[in-house]
């Protein structure tokens, strides 16, 4: 089987909108290709790893060098296309380079297990020659796939759920099982594929794997028709969701993105290993202020997430805590089917047992979440409003009688988030978007008043409808003051309502403040720029917290 | 750079203008005398006192503007004079009747390319190479990322797209003048043997083409749009304006596609809202424009319509061609 089949799969998936048809196409692909190629296909389609063999910039430079093509022209094309891999694909098509007559029939397996990894063994000159050779021997239709895999930008509108469904359908097994098998690390091989499509289900094989996560829905007003006593209330922490799996003595820390992050948090792995029992806990990992007993800002956690094997001093500077809110498995017994209120009793019971064994010494990395007991729904609301005081995002409301299922099922968990903070700001810069938004100005910068000057305070990409984006794009082109590369400075005229979750002092920014998750919530065509807020207003918001 | 006064053709109020002959080329506002390169809506306007075009363009214009316009026609290659300026139309390969316009005065030749393409199209005359001193060329697709596939490859892709979904009605959106007829002609040469239905706006143009001696295969006019859902396995050609709004709202068993050069870019394809995009264009691609610039032997080139900056810079740097810029063009 050559790369061609995978190219075709990509093209098909890319142009089909119906979920059922996509599943059908995937199923047929798996049926007609070799296990090893299927394994790689799954690896790529689920985005398990998007290893970047060379960067997009490198690819563009390489093309420019080997074909003596002007760099500025490639850059101009990029602005229109928004994807390096695709630009080079289109340019390759245009240039009728002396194509090697021998067409390569490289398989997906060979490409990913040999050809691409081997690139790192070559020096730059050899590497460039090798890529050029592949371009000139690969059939034209496979260029896009090759360039995308090469630059680690292979993405197609297929969710892990869709892959799960198509494999489940292929072998006629429950989706849950496949979803479980697909969790965590996936090393492409004949074995891993055979494991995936094995109709027999073995427990040990699934040992280190987390359960599919249960996700919260957004709060709906109709919930308040129910008695407050039907629900459990917790603070909604702003950390990373983690399932802490301990089986046969081994700890695995799984994120919701199914990444294993043991290496980033060795102190947690270490301490939790002291506990005798096996278990699976669901909870939140945070950087914690142990003196104030309060969560620290997400930016502290970011110092830890992407750092593997953190030094002792980093561990002390950014101390982490795992706050468990659910117990899913204990001593090998899956208790997800037990009601939440009973799982909570078990959680508390085991936690106090573990904590009371002094040699465990777990209390500086592990606690269970405190519950909140609002008297009624309006009390719940006032708890929510106070959530910023303890650096949380609001409340999580859980149905006491619910079982732990997977996905975002209705009627089980809700997030009850505090309203965002808002400021009206003036649009002052726009930058061209990439990917789907290539060729449109979609990255915006907004400013607030400081005396008579507009000072940039936030950038936002999302929040407008497609029609608004098009309308604004037209306006931007007509109201440009200056162009600096892809950025345009604009006539200050348009006012937008910007919402965000957090505001804090920042020395890095000219405005002196940084906001988290800024997004556009309204195009205030009714407002003049003189109606926009000032930095003063932003500082006031900060004081309120 | 030459001064504006000396140029035979200038850019005035957003239109091309020949002052000595006092004629406008494809003006977008009513003028006394308009030369029309072809009958697409963005190349003429209602209300001019006099129109001059090829015979085919005149028939199509009358279909669109009405019978009562004052229009003079000339054959391709036929010379005519206005205020002492020699003018002639030459095939531009864009659509039926489309032309390049050449002006000669005091032994200086100016050529306005009009919209043009080099690719095969059996529904109109093929592009004719015309030598000139000054070339004013369109560059709608003036970037090297645009490289058209062979027309029959696209036609086969369309045919496969329809036959691979026999349970659906395939709706292909395309410009009703030119693109629709070219597609009909190409699709008739593929394996697709189902029925082809057309929207009335396309049907009208088909009839004009037939009157002008172009062989267009038989299509069925859609009388009642409700039937669309039931025409599974068949093809329907519709103008792009119908893809927006409520026209498609109640159909369940359809798949949609758009036939346009812009569909070669994935982001535009995704954003277009159609299920599928077929990159087929009646404009020249990058290589096509470069070929025309070269073969016209023009020593001076102007570009308009599209990203003129890039192709100008490329020609100046790589091909040492003298590219000029109109004053007042955006």
Q: Give me the domains of chain A, ranges plus CATH numbers.
A: 3-151 (1.10.3260.10), 217-417 (3.30.470.30), 421-544 (2.40.50.140)
**Does residue B271 belong to the interface with chain A, where contact is any CB pair within 8 Å?**
yes
Grade residue A339 by pLDDT with cuts at 50, 70 and 90.
very high
**Does residue A469 belong to the interface with chain B, where contact is any CB pair within 8 Å?**
no
Nearest C-alpha of chain A: how many angstroms from B267? 4
**Does residue A474 belong to the interface with chain B, where contact is any CB pair within 8 Å?**
no
Tokens of A291: 């003196």
Q: Which residues in chain A touch residue B266, judged by CB atoms under 8 angstroms apart?
A: 14, 81, 83, 86
**Does residue A93 belong to the interface with chain B, where contact is any CB pair within 8 Å?**
yes
Round the average pLDDT of chain A to a whole number and report it: 89
- Give pLDDT, residue B17: 94
Cβ of B267 within 8 Å of Cβ of A91? The answer is: no
Q: What is the pTM of this model?
A: 0.75
Cβ of A73 within 8 Å of Cβ of B314? The answer is: yes
- Give pLDDT, residue A495: 94
Give B14-64 pLDDT, tens digit per residue. Answer: 899 999 999 999 999 999 999 999 999 989 999 999 999 999 999 999 998
**Does residue A17 belong to the interface with chain B, where contact is any CB pair within 8 Å?**
yes
| pLDDT, mean of residues B271-279 | 90
Q: CA A339, CA B104: separation in Å to the nearest integer?
A: 90
Nearest C-alpha of chain B: how many angstroms from A154? 13
| pLDDT, mean of residues A69-96 | 91
| pLDDT, mean of residues A315-335 | 95
Regarding beta strands B15-18 and B9-12, do their DSSP bridges make them parallel or antiparallel, or are they unpaired?
antiparallel
**Does residue A139 belong to the interface with chain B, where contact is any CB pair within 8 Å?**
no
Give A25-82 pLDDT, tens digit per residue. Answer: 999 999 999 999 999 999 999 876 678 899 999 999 999 999 989 999 999 999 999 9
- Give pLDDT, residue A71: 94
Phi, psi (degrees; rounded to nearest 5) at B82: -130, 125
- What is A169-198 written as a DSSP string? HHHT--HHHHHHHHSS----SHHHHHHHT-
Domain B10-145+283-324 sits in which CATH superfamily?
Ribonuclease Z/Hydroxyacylglutathione hydrolase-like (3.60.15.10)
Q: CA A396, CA A231: separation in Å to the nearest integer?
A: 10
Phi-psi bin for A415: left (phi > 0), alpha (psi -120 to 50), beta? beta
Residue of B nearest to A16 (CA): B275
> Does residue A437 have a pLDDT over 90?
no
**Does residue B144 belong to the interface with chain A, where contact is any CB pair within 8 Å?**
yes
| pLDDT, mean of residues A417-442 | 87
Q: Which of B145, B276, B309 sits opposite A87 (nearest CB)?
A: B145
Q: Which residues in chain A touch residue B290, judged by CB atoms under 8 angstroms apart?
A: none
> Does residue B144 have a pLDDT over 50?
yes
Closest CA to A196 of A184, A23, A149: A184
Grade residue B3 by pLDDT with cuts at 50, 70 and 90.
very low
Q: Is B248 exposed, middle or buried (0-12, 13-18, 19+ CB in 10 A)?
A: middle
Closest CA to B311 of B328, B329, B282, B291: B291
**Does residue B307 belong to the interface with chain A, where contact is any CB pair within 8 Å?**
yes
**Does residue B49 belong to the interface with chain A, where contact is any CB pair within 8 Å?**
no
> Does residue A281 have a pLDDT over 60?
yes
| pLDDT, mean of residues A246-263 | 83
Percent of chain A whose pLDDT exceeds 70? 96
Quickly tell me which residue has 């829905």 as its tokens.
A217
Q: Who wins on pLDDT, A483 or B92? A: B92
Percent of chain B whose pLDDT exceeds 90? 75
Q: Which of A14, A76, A86 sits opposite B143 (nearest CB)?
A: A76
SS3 content of chain A, % helix, strand, coil (to 5): 40, 25, 35
> Is residue A195 within a helix (H) or strand (E), and if so which, with residue range?
helix A190-196
> Does residue B330 have a pLDDT over 60?
no
> Does residue A100 have a pLDDT over 70?
no
Grade residue B2 by pLDDT with cuts at 50, 70 and 90.
very low
Q: Which of B267, B307, B317 sits opposite A81 (nearest CB)?
A: B267
> Does residue A18 have a pLDDT over 90?
no
**Does residue B248 belong to the interface with chain A, where contact is any CB pair within 8 Å?**
no
**Does residue B249 belong to the interface with chain A, where contact is any CB pair within 8 Å?**
no
| CATH 3.60.15.10, chain B: domain bounds | 10-145+283-324
Q: Which of B145, B275, B276 sits opposite A90 (nearest CB)?
A: B145
Which class is domain B151-278?
A: alpha beta
The C-alpha angle with vertex A305 and arms to A301 and A306, in degrees rounded to 5, equals 135
Round the average pLDDT of chain B to a whole number and report it: 92
> Does residue B162 have a pLDDT over 90?
yes
Give A188-214 pLDDT, tens digit per residue. Answer: 999 999 988 988 866 655 677 889 899
| pLDDT, mean of residues A9-29 | 88
Cβ of B275 within 8 Å of Cβ of A16? The answer is: yes
Nearest C-alpha of chain B: how many angstroms from A139? 14
> Does residue A1 have a pLDDT over 70?
no
**Does residue A20 belong to the interface with chain B, where contact is any CB pair within 8 Å?**
no
What ipTM does the predicted assembly reach? 0.91
- Give pLDDT, residue B150: 93
| CATH 3.40.50.10890, chain B: domain bounds | 151-278
Q: Which of B145, B266, B270 sits opposite A77 (nearest CB)?
A: B145
| pLDDT, mean of residues A354-376 | 91
Give B183-215 pLDDT, tens digit per residue. Answer: 999 999 999 999 999 999 999 999 999 999 999
């Amino acid at each position: 089987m050559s790369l061609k089949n995978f190219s075709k799969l990509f093209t098909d998936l890319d142009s089909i909108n119906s979920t059922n048809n996509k599943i059908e196409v995937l199923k047929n692909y798996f049926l007609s290709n070799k296990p090893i190629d299927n394994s790689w296909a799954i690896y790529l389609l689920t985005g398990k790893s998007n290893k970047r063999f060379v960067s997009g910039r490198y690819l563009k430079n390489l093309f420019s060098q080997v074909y003596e093509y002007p760099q500025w022209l490639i850059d101009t094309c990029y602005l229109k296309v928004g994807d390096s891999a695709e630009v080079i694909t289109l340019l390759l098509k245009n240039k009728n380079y002396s194509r090697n007559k021998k067409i390569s029939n490289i398989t997906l397996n060979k490409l990913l297990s040999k050809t691409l990894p081997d690139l790192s063994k070559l020096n730059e000159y050899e590497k460039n020659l090798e890529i050029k050779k592949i371009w000139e021997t690969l059939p034209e239709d496979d260029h896009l796939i090759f360039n995308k895999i090469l630059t680690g930008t292979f993405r197609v509108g297929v969710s892990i759920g869709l892959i799960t469904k198509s494999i489940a359908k292929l072998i006629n097994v429950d989706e849950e099982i496949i979803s479980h098998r697909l969790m965590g690390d996936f090393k492409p091989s004949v074995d891993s594929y055979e494991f995936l499509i094995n109709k027999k289900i073995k427990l040990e094989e699934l040992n280190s794997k987390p359960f599919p996560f249960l996700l919260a829905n957004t709060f709906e007003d109709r919930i308040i028709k129910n008695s407050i006593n039907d629900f459990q209330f917790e603070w909604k922490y702003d950390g990373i969701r983690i399932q802490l799996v301990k089986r046969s003595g081994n700890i695995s820390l799984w994120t919701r993105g199914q990444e294993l992050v043991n290496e980033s948090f060795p102190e947690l792995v270490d301490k939790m290993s002291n506990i005798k029992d096996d278990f699976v806990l669901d909870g939140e990992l945070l950087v914690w202020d142990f003196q104030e007993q309060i969560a620290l800002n997400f930016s502290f956690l970011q110092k830890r997430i992407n750092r593997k094997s953190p030094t002792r001093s980093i561990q002390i500077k950014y101390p982490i805590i795992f706050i468990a809110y659910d117990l899913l498995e204990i001593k090998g017994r899956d208790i997800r089917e037990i009601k939440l209120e009973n799982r909570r009793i078990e959680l508390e019971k085991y936690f106090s047992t573990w904590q009371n064994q002094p040699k465990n010494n777990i209390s500086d990395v592990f606690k269970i979440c405190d519950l909140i007991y609002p008297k009624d729904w309006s009390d719940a609301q006032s708890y929510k409003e106070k959530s910023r005081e303890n650096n949380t995002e609001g409340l999580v409301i859980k149905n006491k009688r619910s079982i732990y299922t997977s996905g975002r099922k209705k009627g089980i968990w809700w997030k009850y988030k505090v309203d965002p903070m808002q400021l009206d700001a003036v649009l002052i810069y726009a930058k061209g978007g990439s990917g789907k938004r290539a060729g449109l100005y979609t990255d915006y910068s907004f400013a607030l008043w400081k005396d008579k000057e507009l000072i940039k305070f936030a950038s936002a990409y999302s929040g407008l409808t497609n029609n608004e984006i098009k309308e604004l794009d037209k306006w931007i082109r007509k109201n440009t003051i200056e162009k600096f590369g892809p950025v345009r400075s604009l006539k200050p005229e348009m006012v937008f309502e910007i919402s965000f979750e957090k505001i804090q002092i920042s020395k890095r920014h000219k405005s002196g403040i940084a906001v988290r998750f800024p997004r556009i919530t309204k195009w205030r065509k009714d407002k003049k720029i003189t109606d926009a807020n000032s930095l003063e207003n932003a500082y006031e918001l900060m004081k309120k917290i | 750079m030459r001064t504006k006064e000396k140029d035979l053709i200038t850019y005035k109020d957003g239109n091309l203008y020949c002052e000595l002959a006092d004629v406008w080329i494809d003006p977008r506002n009513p003028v006394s005398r308009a030369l029309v390169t072809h009958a697409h809506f963005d190349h003429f306007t209602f209300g001019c006192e006099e129109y001059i075009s090829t015979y085919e363009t005149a028939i199509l214009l009358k279909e669109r503007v009405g019978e009562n316009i004052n229009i003079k026609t000339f054959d391709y290659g036929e010379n005519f004079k206005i205020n002492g300026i020699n003018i002639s139309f030459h095939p531009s390969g864009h659509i039926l009747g489309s032309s390049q316009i050449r002006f000669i005065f005091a032994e200086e030749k100016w050529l306005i390319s009009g919209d043009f393409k080099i690719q095969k199209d059996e529904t109109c005359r093929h592009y004719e190479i015309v030598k000139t001193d000054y070339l004013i060329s369109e560059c709608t697709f003036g970037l090297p990322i645009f490289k058209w596939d062979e027309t029959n490859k696209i036609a086969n892709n369309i045919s496969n797209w329809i036959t691979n979904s026999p349970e659906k009605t395939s709706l292909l959106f395309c410009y009703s003048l030119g693109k629709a007829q070219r597609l009909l002609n190409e699709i008739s040469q593929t394996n697709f043997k189902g029925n082809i239905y057309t929207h009335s706006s396309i049907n009208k143009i088909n009839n004009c083409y037939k009157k002008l001696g172009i062989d267009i295969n038989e299509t069925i006019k859609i009388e009642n749009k409700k039937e669309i859902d039931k025409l599974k396995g068949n093809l329907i050609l519709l103008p792009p304006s119908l893809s927006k709004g409520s026209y498609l709202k109640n159909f369940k068993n359809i798949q949609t596609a758009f036939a346009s050069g812009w569909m070669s870019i994935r982001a535009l394809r995704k954003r277009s809202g159609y299920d599928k995009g077929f990159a087929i264009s009646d404009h020249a691609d990058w290589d096509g424009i470069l070929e025309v610039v070269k073969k016209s032997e023009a020593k001076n080139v102007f570009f308009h319509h599209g990203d003129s900056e890039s192709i100008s810079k490329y020609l100046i740097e790589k091909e040492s061609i003298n590219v000029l810029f109109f004053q007042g063009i955006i």
